[in-house]
Structure 1
Amino acid sequence: MSKQDDSQSNTDVTDEPISNDKDKKNLRKRNTASRRKHNSEPRRKYSNTPDAVEELVNETFFLKHEDERPFLTKKRVVFTAGLVFGLIIAWAMAPQSSDLKIFSNFLAESFSDLDFSSMLPANVLLEELFGNITLLLKPNISILEDTEFLPALSLAKEGIKANFPVVLIPGIVSTGLESWSTSNCSRPYFRRRMWGTTTMFRAVILDKECWSNHMRLDPETGLDPPDFKLRAAQGLDAADYLFPGYWVWGKMIQNFAAIGYDCNNMHLAAYDWRLSFFNLEVRDNYFSKLKSNIELSKRTVGKKSILVGHSMGSLVTLYFFKWVESPNGGNGGENWVNDHIESFINIGGPLLGVPKALSALLSGEMRDTVELGAFGVYVLEKFFSKHERANLFRTWGGLSSMLPKGGESLWGNETHAPDDHEGLLESYGSMINLRSHIGMENNSDNENSTLPMVLKHTSSSGVEFLKKHADTLFTEMLTRNYSFGIYKSKEEFNDQLDHTKWTNPLESQLPNAPNMKIYCLYGYGKETERKYFYNTESSVERPEGRKRDELKNFLKHIFIDSSMNSDKDPYLKSGVHNGEGDGTVPLLSLGYMCTKGWKNPLYNPAGIKVITREFVHETGPSLDLRGGGKTADHVDILGNYALTGDVLKIAAGNGDELEDNISSNILEYVSKVNV
């Protein structure tokens, strides 16, 4: 188009004087004709007159077509309906009185036949939908620009700067898992995350069977099933954000960067948390790669590394210590850890396991699922039942590493437990209380009695109960990979080559590393799952001539009894008896080894110095969904200012100024443990 044509076109659109409404209409008609004439040419100049701006705005797709849409599909109608529907769901899922639960149950039945995936328009991009929703969790960076990098900015002014190379070892479910499968259902997800990012939401909602096939492991080998392959994402972004707006290591990485760290001296050792620790090396050579990276840092920087493990990452670290020393593993010799590791920072490590893992493997339930309310439980069961969840969890060898360790010596028996306190309805020691309608004749002298018997299981008998009633392949996997006992004499530590002991600090000793330091940093002050009240479906009957323990698929018929509540004991809610901890890991598991176990030469023969620092939970601003800078929640504590400051000081070589800071009841509890 010539300059003359271009000028004429622009004149047609904008330069004619406007006198009245009729002229405006004529002008818009001519403008439309002009656009059609020159639709293949780019427009280079616009006037800023009101009518020209209005005309330009009217060209936009959404406004142009909004009036043409049917009323029920207009954005404002859909938004309003979605908001109302969301509020109804949120209200229905909240704890309710008995009268409100009747209405909640009615809602559950009313929505029983809805297929939510079929209701979504075909052109809706689920990744964008959930991406926009999850952005609500992300703080306004323009407002919190400085606080996002605190306390590092303040510490940097005090002279704190990068020193030792840092290795971050994330916990369970923290690392993104991406698909490397090329089977039929896998191709749309190739190299996209089936765990983490909004792709996961899309797959779960619209392609649940395909997603489940990717996420489960082969129950016999504990490795990849045929035709499906997931691998841990790599790099710092493998676990910085689980999905948009929901940080895991993101804040910690920001603070490390503010004192001088980058990808050259900070490494995130991502791993497939579904795998048993033994299979991490078999399939991915995970520990061999970790050993090589640490040795490379030592050669290039000339300094030892600091390992920072969070949650299950602390158990991975303990396993690594034993593996790297073992001639059957890394063959590094008994001095390798002392020569290569400056410090081990254990953040919220479930060193003695968590009761939550036992309930998840028993029935696929936990506090999060039973406190959803009648409508929430109904929807969850329809979409992804507890039986489906339990079957999936039992293929994850990594989850089984967090079953309770130490037995009755640590967790208590049917009458008392070290962390019992005043006001309890009954002791925490019986970790699983099962009200069974099977074998009821043993509960009464009356053969026709209909009263159920109550089976009380401690932590050790609870694990045996799980082994007995789960399928054979799961039981074999558990026996092949883990041990949950306790050693009380030096002679019992003779066989340190047994890898099943390496994740249990009560059956394996710390490495020969007298120059290394261990820092235990954890939170407390949140109600934490400690014990469960189970029931069985009353329709389940004992087959004639067979014992209860011989029943097949017995675990399919047990469930956490959400009707179990107590006005006298506020810690008992919806069948879950809560105790003290960080919301996920009980205080006993967080603190026993740090405050007593590793003070004992039996478990710490090299005399490694152990410093324990506790952080009491404080509720943050109401608008901060992650709890603020003083939260002690199990995951959100990675954004706790005080804890982050401690980690940065240790990495900078100023860890010697840190001392024990214990304010919980842990010392009272551990004094009651007779080991």
Structure 2
Amino acid sequence: MCWLEHLSLDNETGLDPPGIRVRAVPGLVAADYFAPGYFVWAILIENLARIGYEGKNMYMAAYDWRLSFQNTEARDQTLSRLKSKIELMYATNGYKKVVVVPHSMGVLYFLHFMKWVEAPPPMGGGGSPGWCAKHIKSIMNIGPAFLGVPKAVGNILSAESKDVAFIRAMAPGLLDSEILGLQTLEHVMRVSRTWDSIISLVPKGGEAIWGNLDWSPEEDHVCDSATHRQFDMKGNDTDGRRGFQVQELTKYGRIVSFGKTASEVHSSEFPSLRSQKQGSLHNTTPPPVASCGKVWTEYDDLSRETISKISENKAYTANTLLDLLRTIAPKMMRRAEAHFSHGIADDLDDPKYNDYKYWSNPLETKLPEAPDMEIYCLYGVGIPTERSYVYKESPPGRCKSIPLQIDSSADGNKNGCLKGGVYFVDGDESVPVLSAGFMCAKGWRGKTRFNPSGIATYVREYKHKAPANLLEGRGLESGAHVDIMGNVALIEDVLRVAAGASGVELGGDKIYSDIMKMSEKINIHL
């Protein structure tokens, strides 16, 4: 378990544990390949080289993705190094503005950077207002998780996702075997709960964005089939009137439900969480003895009574979910909530929003004053993507300290989106369309309070097409969260902008999903 020990951070500080120091690899080799033969940035780097990019005008901004964003500066001065590198590239390449291409969590990291770089020291980088307008031409966000991802919730609750639920369904008892004593999920949970960055991916915007107990922006969207990998999406319809066929309303706003019935019935049929007071789930009885005496998790400090109270509440929305996380992961939430926030700002001119904890939430911060800049949301569609979960209490066991698990026996009808305890919507397999596209489609579109200078935004979607045969590898038209880095159409868009093209010259929006329709259903002050 030496490897896991080195990946862990200190559970109190969120920084290096005593005697252990792990750092991000610098340079283009930091993320060209994840492993031999498994590309990440490699294909895009190779294609940029074909149009003249090289070491002096192309830079990989590697950072320690385990840390909270501000802590990467406190420990490694990563934000300062990025600022200096952009300034150097700008000055040594004919004062041409840079094109920034972040991916996944890196999108949130760069959003944080744009606020940090113009904020005064000691909290900020001292670049002063106008720094972004001077140095940045375009930001091409690939697979952006602007509003978070529900799968982060599954990770914190039970170290699970759809893949773990599938293993439970196919091989019942394997992960929970007391004979094998693997405690695989306990090990994953113990390590991942020391990574504050995971909290940056918890859904942002509350019920206004993700829906309440009886409503959600995607409520009338259904899948073709619970067994099909792709949704039925026809045509390139930019007003969002095509796509999914209306069959029944799915209550996606219940990000976590205890029992299939609780995920389906009207909220009047079980106790409402709207009146639940913060702290009502707090543990008040002595904790049980840690399971097996091997792998401690924060669940070992919770009583079975507290766990039962959690499941009795039936369903949790994006609002009430935060109280749940504070109960089951108190140390993690105390650390991380000093660095991240998940609400919607009432007044962005309130001085409190100058604090760095708000800088990576697009609903609690303003874009820089940079009217000539362009922001792109580039992401795949057409792949079932985790949106909400059906949970149950785990049966008690000697070697099991995670008392909650996805109910892999919960399935919907053949045309429904519930499969193995997971409700799916359209997305890139990791990030739902709602999170990837809303800010470019509506939140930042035109002059809004989140985009006061009217930076142009573009939604560019890439319809997933699985590889036809093994010779295509991971595919040339994949829309999957990582495989999209080899998508020919996406690479072409990035190359054209890197060569000087504008969003208008690219053709503006390219939309296959219902993102515009979803965005219209979201009623927030802009």
TM range (shorter): 0.7 to 0.9
Answering whether residue 158 of structure 2 is matched by residue 334 of structure 1, we say: no
Give the C-alpha shift of residue 624 in structure 1.
Answer: 4.9
Give the aligned partner of residue 317 of structure 1: 110
Answering whether residue 284 of structure 2 is matched by residue 427 of structure 1, we say: no
CA contact (8 A) 1:486 1:507 kept: yes
Measured in 1, the distance between the counterparts of 2:7 and 2:396 equals 32
Helix, strand or coil for the counterpart of 1:529?
strand
Amino acid at match of 1:506: L
User: Is there any run of 5+ residues in structure 1 with no aligned partner, and where?
Assistant: 1-208, 437-441, 445-449, 541-553
Q: Larger helix proportion, structure 1 or 2?
A: 1
Normalised to the residue count of structure 1, the TM-score between the two structures is: 0.63
Structure with bigger RCO (C-alpha 8 Å, 6+ apart): 2
Amino acid at match of 1:398: S
- Superposed, which structure 2 residues align to 1:211-360 within 5 Å? 211-301=3-93, 302-327=95-120, 328-360=123-155
Measured in 1, the distance between the counterparts of 2:105 and 2:374 equals 19
Structure 1 range deviating more: 384-393 or 524-533: 384-393
Superimposed CA distance per residue, residues 467-517 of structure 1 (whole angstroms, 9 cap, x where no aligned partner):
1221x32121122111000124455x4433211111100000101111211
Give the aligned partner of residue 657 of structure 1: 505
CA contact (8 A) 1:344 1:517 kept: yes
Give the C-alpha shift of residue 280 in structure 1.
Answer: 0.5
Measured in 1, the distance between the counterparts of 2:205 and 2:45 equals 35
Measured in 2, the distance between the counterparts of 1:413 and 1:338 equals 38
Give the C-alpha shift of residue 435 in structure 1.
Answer: 4.3
Amino acid at match of 1:614: E
Give the C-alpha shift of residue 571 in structure 1.
Answer: 1.4
Give the aligned partner of residue 519 of structure 2: 670
Helix, strand or coil for the counterpart of 1:613?
strand
Alignment counterpart, residue 529 of structure 1, candidates 380, 386, 398: 386
Give the aligned partner of residue 192 of structure 2: 393
Give the aligned partner of residue 637 of structure 1: 484
Answering whether residue 331 of structure 2 is matched by residue 479 of structure 1, we say: no
Helix, strand or coil for the counterpart of 2:440?
helix
Structure 1 range deviating more: 375-384 or 630-639: 375-384
Helix, strand or coil for the counterpart of 1:532?
strand
Answering whether residue 416 of structure 2 is matched by residue 570 of structure 1, we say: yes
Measured in 2, the distance between the counterparts of 1:443 and 1:332 equals 53
Give the aligned partner of residue 323 of structure 2: 464
Give the aligned partner of residue 58 of structure 1: none
Give the C-alpha shift of residue 461 in structure 1.
Answer: 1.1
Normalised to the residue count of structure 2, the TM-score between the two structures is: 0.80
Structure 1 range deviating more: 300-309 or 319-328: 300-309
CA contact (8 A) 1:234 1:270 kept: yes
CA contact (8 A) 1:348 1:590 kept: yes
CA contact (8 A) 2:219 2:249 kept: no
Question: In 2 relative to 1, CA 595–623 (structure 1 residues): closer, same or farther, beyond 3 Å?
Answer: same
Measured in 1, the distance between the counterparts of 2:323 and 2:63 equals 29
Amino acid at match of 1:477: R
Question: In 2 relative to 1, CA 524–374 (structure 1 residues): closer, same or farther, beyond 3 Å?
Answer: closer
Measured in 2, the distance between the counterparts of 1:410 and 1:331 equals 33
Give the C-alpha shift of residue 538 in structure 1.
Answer: 5.0
CA contact (8 A) 2:169 2:409 kept: no
Superimposed CA distance per residue, residues 367-406 of structure 1 (whole angstroms, 9 cap, x where no aligned partner):
1111125565655555352222122111111121111000
- Superposed, which structure 2 residues align to 1:136-147 within 5 Å? none
CA contact (8 A) 1:407 1:484 kept: yes
Give the C-alpha shift of residue 463 in structure 1.
Answer: 2.2
Superimposed CA distance per residue, residues 294-319 of structure 1 (whole angstroms, 9 cap, x where no aligned partner):
11112211211111001111111100
Amino acid at match of 2:133: N
Question: In 2 relative to 1, CA 578–240 (structure 1 residues): closer, same or farther, beyond 3 Å?
Answer: same
Give the C-alpha shift of residue 536 in structure 1.
Answer: 0.6
Measured in 2, the distance between the counterparts of 1:292 and 1:249 equals 22
Give the aligned partner of residue 408 of structure 1: 207
Amino acid at match of 2:36: P
Alignment counterpart, residue 418 of structure 1, candidates 214, 217, 220: 217
Amino acid at match of 2:327: K
Helix, strand or coil for the counterpart of 1:460?
coil
Helix, strand or coil for the counterpart of 1:414?
coil
Helix, strand or coil for the counterpart of 2:80?
helix
Superimposed CA distance per residue, residues 88-136 of structure 1 (whole angstroms, 9 cap, x where no aligned partner):
xxxxxxxxxxxxxxxxxxxxxxxxxxxxxxxxxxxxxxxxxxxxxxxxx
Superimposed CA distance per residue, residues 309-356 of structure 1 (whole angstroms, 9 cap, x where no aligned partner):
011111111000000011121010011010111111111100000000
CA contact (8 A) 1:486 1:506 kept: yes
Helix, strand or coil for the counterpart of 1:242?
strand
CA contact (8 A) 2:9 2:17 kept: yes
Give the C-alpha shift of residue 625 in structure 1.
Answer: 7.0
Give the aligned partner of residue 182 of structure 1: none
Helix, strand or coil for the counterpart of 2:11?
coil
Measured in 2, the distance between the counterparts of 1:264 and 1:575 equals 49
Question: In 2 relative to 1, CA 379–249 (structure 1 residues): closer, same or farther, beyond 3 Å?
Answer: farther
Instruction: Note the aligned Cα RMSD (angstroms).
Output: 2.3
Structure 1 range deviating more: 364-373 or 521-530: 364-373
Measured in 2, the distance between the counterparts of 1:624 and 1:488 equals 53
Measured in 2, the distance between the counterparts of 1:521 and 1:260 equals 23
CA contact (8 A) 1:435 1:453 kept: no
Give the aligned partner of residue 277 of structure 2: none
Measured in 2, the distance between the counterparts of 1:304 and 1:400 equals 32
Question: In 2 relative to 1, CA 426–516 (structure 1 residues): closer, same or farther, beyond 3 Å?
Answer: closer
Question: In 2 relative to 1, CA 326–623 (structure 1 residues): closer, same or farther, beyond 3 Å?
Answer: same
Question: In 2 relative to 1, CA 246–482 (structure 1 residues): closer, same or farther, beyond 3 Å?
Answer: same
Superimposed CA distance per residue, residues 197-216 of structure 1 (whole angstroms, 9 cap, x where no aligned partner):
xxxxxxxxxxxx10111011
- Superposed, which structure 2 residues align to 1:12-411 within 5 Å? 209-301=1-93, 302-327=95-120, 328-373=123-168, 378-381=173-176, 382-411=181-210
Measured in 1, the distance between the counterparts of 2:85 and 2:471 equals 37
Measured in 1, the distance between the counterparts of 2:173 and 2:43 equals 36
CA contact (8 A) 2:12 2:335 kept: yes
Amino acid at match of 2:253: G
Measured in 1, the distance between the counterparts of 2:253 and 2:10 equals 34
Question: In 2 relative to 1, CA 504–537 (structure 1 residues): closer, same or farther, beyond 3 Å?
Answer: same
Give the C-alpha shift of residue 570 in structure 1.
Answer: 3.1
Measured in 2, the distance between the counterparts of 1:374 and 1:671 equals 38
Amino acid at match of 1:505: P
Helix, strand or coil for the counterpart of 1:522?
strand
Helix, strand or coil for the counterpart of 1:486?
coil
Amino acid at match of 2:442: K
How many residues were matched structurally? 442
Alignment counterpart, residue 591 of structure 1, candidates 437, 441, 451: 437
Superimposed CA distance per residue, residues 176-195 of structure 1 (whole angstroms, 9 cap, x where no aligned partner):
xxxxxxxxxxxxxxxxxxxx
% same residue: 43
Question: In 2 relative to 1, CA 399–303 (structure 1 residues): closer, same or farther, beyond 3 Å?
Answer: same
Alignment counterpart, residue 611 of structure 1, candidates 443, 449, 458: 458
CA contact (8 A) 2:425 2:432 kept: yes
Helix, strand or coil for the counterpart of 1:351?
coil
Give the aligned partner of residue 157 of structure 1: none
Task: Select the structure of larger CA radius of gyration.
Answer: 1
Question: In 2 relative to 1, CA 454–625 (structure 1 residues): closer, same or farther, beyond 3 Å?
Answer: farther
Give the C-alpha shift of residue 453 in structure 1.
Answer: 4.0
Measured in 2, the distance between the counterparts of 1:247 and 1:378 equals 34
